[in-house]
Amino acid sequence: MSKQPSSYLSSKLEGRPKADGNGNGIYSLKPINKGELVAVFGGVIYEWDAFIHLPEIERSLCIQVEDRHFLVPRPIGEGDYVNHSCNPNAGLSGQIGLVAMRDIKVGEEVCFDYAMCDTMPYDEFNCGCGSPNCRGQVGGSDWQKPELQKRYAGFFAPHVQRKIDAQRTEKRAFVRAMRTKTQKYNSPISTSVYE
């Protein structure tokens, strides 16, 4: 147990069992300012095909860092027990950094939304986060929800942000194509009146 964990957890936080007995969580011991670094994930990188055969505990504690690459903590440390919440107070900074999205008070559990990094169906579950805006089910395609894209702007992992950008470009191209088509159909009237 003397081995240093692969992840970093700010000294302002500690990992401990949740009060409801439902696993472990990360709690603040001191106030944390918006933008402050709270954790950096570490470990070993696996490609999807090997990753899906790992034990469930390793899969559930990992973080997706690229389209098909996963960071698995070894050895596991307190910083790897950051839970999901549909109303998170932390978000990703780059591939492996976790920062406060707002000021965090002493005693609050620090959580992020797995939609910020997940695009694959490896850790889907019924959410019991208890927040008023809980979406009930957490899955690998949640990043596509427009309300989440808006709420977590600036806090998605780079590989997810690339997907969001590509989706927006595609949508804009579609709208442009539809507009051109409509203009073509309407052109006999509009051109004769306005030209």
User: Which one among 72, 86, 92, 104 touches Zn ion, defined by CB under 5 A?
Assistant: 86
Quick one: which segment of 16-24, 52-60, 125-133, 143-151 binds Zn ion (CB under 5 A)?
125-133
| 111 part of the interface to Zn ion, by CB under 5 A | no
User: Which one among 127, 148, 157, 160 touches Zn ion, defined by CB under 5 A?
Assistant: 127
Q: How far apart are CA 129 and CA 109, in angstroms?
A: 11
- Binding-site size, Zn ion (CB under 5 A): 4
E-state strands within the chain: 8-9, 13-17, 24-28, 37-40, 44-47, 63-66, 69-72, 83-84, 90-93, 97-100, 111-112, 125-126, 137-138
C-beta closer to Zn ion: residue 133 or 191: 133
| 129 part of the interface to Zn ion, by CB under 5 A | yes
| 83 part of the interface to Zn ion, by CB under 5 A | no
What residue ranges bind Zn ion (CB under 5 A)? 86, 127, 129, 134
